[in-house]
Structure 1
Amino acid sequence: MTPSAVDLSALGQRSSAIVDQAGNLARYGMDDVAGAGVRSGESVTLQAPRTVTFPDGGSITYGALDHLGRPTGVTVHITPDMIGAGTHANASILPPGWSGNGILHNEARSHLLGRQLGGSGDLTENLETLQQAPANSPVMSGFEGQIRRVVEGGQAVDYLPTSIYLGDELVPRGITLDAQGTGGFDWYVRC
């Protein structure tokens, strides 16, 4: 799986959660989710990805920006050294679709890989414009908190947050979060 696409067929029949922009949560089977994700056959022009490694075996590969300068996704192996190692969103970075005033427009410079999981706020590949409430917080931060607790509980987690865009829109319509832990943690979410 690459950071630029979600291979929904590889996810099997796990149950999935869909969170809409209003913060409503519903459960669906994979057949229901397949139509909502990245369509097969779509292509994205990518540059070389950036990879960061950690002493205990953790790694982050930030997918390159697409042809419109939009973040595409991150492939991560989360280990304890990464917890809390991230940085706040750099206010000088204006992600695609940014309206210019986060408070006025209820938007955030949202990390694809959250700060609490080791995500950088200084890389354009990791920041996108997202609705602050409820999408960025509490929804995404809540899911990232679940992953953090799993890692702090002893599991390493393979994690793939991926942006979902409609055509040439600069702000993602959603984000898929696919996570699998070494001790049985396993979920797929679309927010």
Structure 2
Amino acid sequence: MAIYLSVHLHNIAFVLTLAFFVSMTSCANPYQYLMFVQQWPKSHGLWPSNFSVYELKNCTGAYLDLEKMKNNKSLQSELVKSWPNVKDNDHMKFWDSQYKKHGICSDNTFPQLEYFVVSNQMWKNYNISKMFESYPKSPIVPGAKYNKSDLLAAIKHVTKFDPNIRCKNSILSEVVICFNSRGRDVIDCDPAKTCNAPEIEFPG
């Protein structure tokens, strides 16, 4: 009985170790593209992803150098506008948590602060509120319902590529614009990741 229990516990330990190794390995894999996610009128995040792991998280690597971030006042000023902590005013804590969760997965491509610079520039170039307001067919404004096709078309009119839109209970929750791994060029997002509702409310 004692021998059986020892072997059984050894097997459990091996399985847990293997599961941990696999999870860490998946995060260590090179990402293939970036998802720029917005919850109007602000950024929600810049998420390295690949085609086998949709959203990489908690990868291994160096944590954000908070002293460098604190000393870069101009970048902080930009991020407060584009990527603030909407729950409270502790922006530094929020940026630190976002880097630990997502940004660290791109540290082989971007120096730490460049990750935030890239996200800020994406927000300036592809601000979802401005894209909706300027849609030539008819401006898309908060507080109304729209065909999903019109929401997608309004974004693609500017980006020239297919975005993702996410919704909860047919209410628009997030917009995703996909970029190549360097964040320089917009690419098509996976259409299978877009909300299935034919009519979607753009909340006020």
TM-score, with structure 1 as normaliser: 0.27
**Over alpha carbons, which structure has the higher Rg?**
2
Higher strand share: 1
TM-score, with structure 2 as normaliser: 0.25
